[in-house]
Each structure stands twice: as structure tokens, then as C-alpha cells.
Structure 1
């Protein structure tokens, strides 16, 4: 695919809805993922087309700077802003029993929520100030100038742990531009070429446009579909919703008779008035 944004979420990220064994024993650090992804994109000359985000227990300015040096353009914050809003990490997010009213629909528990947007704003301002201070000490004016500068990271093993000295971080700390010098590594600076007009949805829309615009009462369309045609029907539904908002069209205004193998999310978010028959099979999330 032609991804514009890739998030590398590390194993130590917080989620109150996961099992304790999963939280403690599954996954890998985001540092490994960010470094490898950044290097791979640089070697493929695709780094300028993709914004790379690091996520997983990023809480301080130091975490932000390290993520940037390993190749991240953005950093995701979840646990720390939640705590700033009053989360006490009871790990009951999925049980509707959050005692401080953060993750619950219970009206009595929600009364206990004391968070304010200003708390998160203040926290992020302090993070930015911490980052600014670290950048000044390193001699950089902007965080963008630090992205991919792995040469500014040094391995400092715990002197009391003799096994730590045996660890080899050379592959993680390898400067990607040494492998392919001179290319643009500013994430998202070159737009992806999606060629959306070639999607099957647009071929359907071309034949159904008169019905959506009210020039015809109904239309029946027969087409083949493959599993490359993901979220089929969503674009057609967009144009219907754009014209009719929530009302949609009368029943069976647009009848689609498809043959083949539908891709993921076949007929997801389908607008009212569209009737679809599929002779064949489809991937997961049909009609969600």
C-alpha cells in the first residue's frame, strides 16, 4: 500500500483493556521498530512520503528527543495525558467501572471526573519546554533537524551489570543516510500518489451519479470485484451522504450485483438506499 503515516507502538504502552500477561510479556520496544522502519524507508527512498510516529510510554522530553534521533517525526502520548486528566491506572477501562470517571458511561461515576483540557495543555507545554532545553544543549534549533541523527546517541551500559556490556546496538544506531546518502528524509514532504480515481467505487459512482443527483429513480449495476477492492461502497456512500446527509435514498435506488471476492470492509458504512448482492466471498468486516 501507499501509507502516509506509520505508527510504531511499543510493548510498554499502557492499555487498561489488555490482559496482564499480554501487558507484561508480549511485544517489543518501539526503539527497535522505529529504527528499522526508518532505515528501511530511507534505503527504499520512501522516507519523504511517510510520517513516522513512535508510541508507547513516551512521557518526557528526553523520550521525545531519543525517538526523533532514531527516526520518528511524531510521538504519540496516551497514558501520561490520561493521568494528567485524573486517571489512576486501575486497569478497568473495559469494565465500565472506572472509579474516577475517565473511561465509563456510568453517570454516577462520570460525576467524579475532575479533569480539564488545561491540564493536558499544561503537560504538553512542559514537554515542549523540556525538548527545547535539550535541543539547546545539543546545539539544534528545531526538532526536525535532529530526526535520524543516530550519531548523537551513545550506548552507556550499566557499569554494575557486566552482561549489559555484551549488548550490541550498532544496527539500531546505524545512520540510515550512510546507507543511502543525499535523499530527502523529511517525513510527509512528498505526497503519495494514490490514484483514487481508479478505484472500483468511482466506476460505480459514474453509473449511479444521476440517481444520487435525483435525475433518475434507480439503477442496476453488475461488476466484478477482487480482494484488492477494499472498503467497497464507502466512497459511493460518501457521495450519497454529501447530497442527502442522513436521509439517504429510497430503498433499492442503487442495486449492485457483484461477482468475485470482496476485499476487507466490503460495504462498510453503506448509505441507505444501496442494495448489494455478492456472488462469491469476502474478507472480514462485511457491512460493518
Structure 2
């Protein structure tokens, strides 16, 4: 009510909404040890989570009821009637040491209603972005036929940096018809040029997207499946593994799929990655932040604060100049050499796929001198993965390719 009287017409509910569903404000969200399981990936703690959606609904019902009662006491029918009504507010007549020098006069002064007050604007039509690239692609009869009848197609499309969230609507059309895993066809689309924000977001299985060029932030955001390959154009004049060709926060919240980037990524690569596999040739700060699953391979240098809040999944980082360890908080993840044969197989197979998909010269050099490069890789292992076959040397691979636990 006070915010409305001071002029606010939008209101945010943050911590109080979490408290309504069971948060006890222990202030240890970043440690994975939340005592009521709100901010933890540990199953035994998540089992303690007491909240249900109805609790939050009831909280907002009570908020609305209290606001309604206060409006009635003041003689008003709706909240809009009191927005900007600072004349309804009176400073409390109390004297406190820490507030004695506060002057609320500026906040409570009524300067009149501005010409373009937001309270005068209601029920605006949603703006139109005009024709976007996804609209063009979804109007393509070949693509529509492939989605409707689960066919395999190959397309090449020019892309520009004004084209944002490309493939998002296509993924939505596929998911609407088949769900996350039911599409049996293949949409093989190659884009050339500079992609805008959120390129190849929300991909589903069956979508194989290739970009020859570079992209902005949020590449592969929220993908649930499919394959994404990013390579630079030929004859660019620079060394691909030394150039950043995708922006920040790539693979944000991914729950599946594979991503191969011939070049470096910006900051927060694979933040909150849950299940996707990715190979990249260098990253900025905060790589693998809050990661809960999947696997990330970095064939080059990384920035600071690696694996902050990482509670699941694995990361393999090539450390040719021996500078990685100070960049990792080893209270959060264990940093070890790749000694488990299953982990070595996982690492090598992802690099082989990376070379096959991108033509990476860096990856090819690593495979050619495998025995030399393998000892230079670090494996980042959160506590939840310490007993996994990829991280634990107690497992072995049989001649038939099966993973078994070694006998004592």
C-alpha cells in the first residue's frame, strides 16, 4: 500500500514467496546444504521440502484480502485509486537515533500527475516484432512437411545478428506435436552468418543445428535434446581456438543434447547445465556455474571461479600452463586427474565427436598425441559424482564394453 501511494504500479515478491513455501532463511543457499531442501540438489535434503503450490496461492490470497481491507478503510475501491496519492501518507512521530536525520519531504511531496502516467495506460495491444526468421522457416513447406510426417530434411539459411531466439518456435512446434522425445524425423538446418541472442534455444531431439559464423549470448539456452555445432567461417585469418565465437551464458539450463563449439565461449558457459554434453575450446569466468548434471569438456583456458556451486555432472579441463587450480573452489568440487578408464573413454569420445563435427585442429592434435595430453586434463568432480564410474578408478571396462566394479 505504501509503495502504491508513493507511485508504484508494479510490485515484486521475492524472499517472502519462498518463505511461504517453506524457506527458513538459513542464508546458506550457495552451499547445497539448505536444511529444508529449497536450494539443494541433495536428495535427502530435498525430501524435507515442506511446500506445496497451495501454500503460495493462499499467501497471495491473504495479501490481496489485506490490501482490499485497507482500501475499504480509506474509502477506495481499487488499488489504482491510491497510486501516487502521497497525501494519504503521514510520517510516524517517533524519534530514533538512526532515523533522526531522515527527511521524507521529497518522497511525500505531491508533484502532480505526469502527462504519461502509467496508471493512465491500460490493456495495450502486445507489440509486434514483424516477420521474424522462425516465421519464415515455419512457413517453409519442406520444414512443415518434415515436422508433420517425421521426415529428414537438410536446409541452409542465412542469418543476421538481428535474428533472435532462432529455432525456438520451431522447437515449440515439434514439442507441441511430439513432446520432448517423440519426434522421429530430423531437421538438419545450417545457418551462415552472425546469429543474434539465444540462437538455437530450446532444441528438442531430432533438431540438428549448425552455425557457420558466430553468435551472441545464450546460445543453446534451455535445450532439451538435438545437436548444435558452431564453427567459424573458412579463411577468417585467425586461429579458431584463440577466438571467441559464442557469447555469454551459453547452455543455460540445458536438460539434454550435445553442443560442439570450435572456438571460445564467453562467461558463464554451461551455467545450470543439467544434462547436456558440450565441448568448447576455452571459456571466460564462471564456467560450469551451478551445474547439476551433464558433461563439459574445455580444450583451452578458462577464467576464474570455475564450477562455483556445481553440484552434479562432470567437467574436463585441459590445463597446459598449470593455472587451473587457483581458479577452482576445491571445497565445492574435487579436482583430480582423469585416472578412471571410463572417464578417459568419456573424454576421448567427446573430443572425437568434436573433431568429427567441427574439424577442430586443436582436438585433432590432442587425439594424435593422446598419451601426452591426457595427463594435462583435470577432472572436476562434485560430491554427488565421486562414486560414478567416470570418476572412480575402482571401475573397469570389459572387452565387451561393459562397465564393472573391480574385485578386491
**Would the TM-score normalized by the shorter structure come out above 0.5?**
yes
Q: Structure 1: how far apart are the matches of 2:148 and 2:5?
A: 52
1:95-244 matched pairs, under 5 angstroms: 95-117=31-53, 119-154=55-90, 161-165=99-103, 169=106, 177=113, 179-180=114-115, 185=119, 188-196=122-130, 198-207=131-140, 208-214=143-149, 217-226=152-161, 228-244=162-178
Distance change in 2, residues 1:263/1:100 (3 Å): same
Asked whether the equivalents of residues 156 and 189 of structure 2 are also in contact (C-alpha less than 8 Å), the reply is yes
| 1:31 matched residue in structure 2 | none
| Shift in alpha-carbon separation, 1:220–1:81, aligned structure 2, 3 A | closer
By relative contact order (CA 8 Å, sep 6+), the higher-ranking structure is: 1
Measure the CA separation in 1 of the matches of 2:54 and 2:179: 34
Instruction: Name the structure 1 match of 2:29.
Output: 93
Contact residue 150 and residue 175 of structure 1 kept, 8 A = no
Long gaps (5+) in structure 1:
1-64
Does the C-alpha gap of structure 1 residues 213 and 84 become closer, same or farther in structure 2, counting only changes over 3 Å?
Answer: closer
Distance 1:129 1:143 in 2: 12
Question: TM-score when scaled to structure 1?
Answer: 0.62
| Residues in 1 aligned to 2:208 and 2:47: alpha-carbon distance in whole angstroms | 44
C-alpha distance 143-216 of structure 1, shift in aligned 2 (>3 A): same
- Larger C-alpha radius of gyration, 1 or 2? 2
Give me the whole-angstrom Cα distance separating, in 2, the residues matched to 1:95 and 1:158. Answer: 41
Q: 1:220 Cα shift? A: 1.5
Structure number with higher strand proportion: 2
Aligned-pair distance for 1:215?
8.7
**Cα deviation per residue 1:188-214 (whole Å; 9 max; x = unaligned)?**
511222245x11111122222232223
Work out the number of aligned pairs and report it: 216
Q: How many angstroms does 1:99 deviate by?
A: 1.4
Relative distance call for 1:214 and 1:125 in structure 2 (3 A) is closer
Cα distance in structure 2, aligned partners of 1:255 and 1:141: 56
Q: Does 1:250 align with 2:185?
A: yes
Task: State the Cα deviation string for residues 120-178 of structure 1 (Å, max 9, x = none).
Answer: 4444343333212321232211113223334434566865555223x6525x855563x
Who is 1:77 aligned against?
13
SS in 2 for 1:276: strand
Distance in 2 (alpha carbons) for counterparts of 1:283 and 1:111: 39
Q: Normalising by structure 2, what TM-score?
A: 0.46
Q: Could you say if the C-alpha distance between residues 249 and 199 of structure 1 is closer, same or farther in structure 2, counting changes exceeding 3 Å?
A: farther
In the TM superposition, residue 284 of structure 1 has moved relative to its aligned partner by 1.4
Structure (1/2) with the larger helix percentage: 1
- CA, structure 1 residues 72+215, in 2 after alignment: closer, same or farther (shift >3 Å)? same
Tell whether 2:204 aligns with 1:271.
yes
Structure 2: any 5+ residue segments left out of the alignment? 222-408
Distance 1:284-1:80 versus aligned 2 partners, 3 A rule:
same
CA distance in 2, matches of 1:176, 1:280: 53
SS in 2 for 1:284: coil
Tell me the residue number matched to 1:20.
none
CA distance in 2, matches of 1:270, 1:216: 17
Secondary structure of the corresponding residue to residue 169 of structure 1: helix
CA RMSD in angstroms, aligned pairs only? 3.2
| SS of equivalent residue, structure 2 residue 190 | strand
Deviates most, 94-103 or 209-218: 209-218
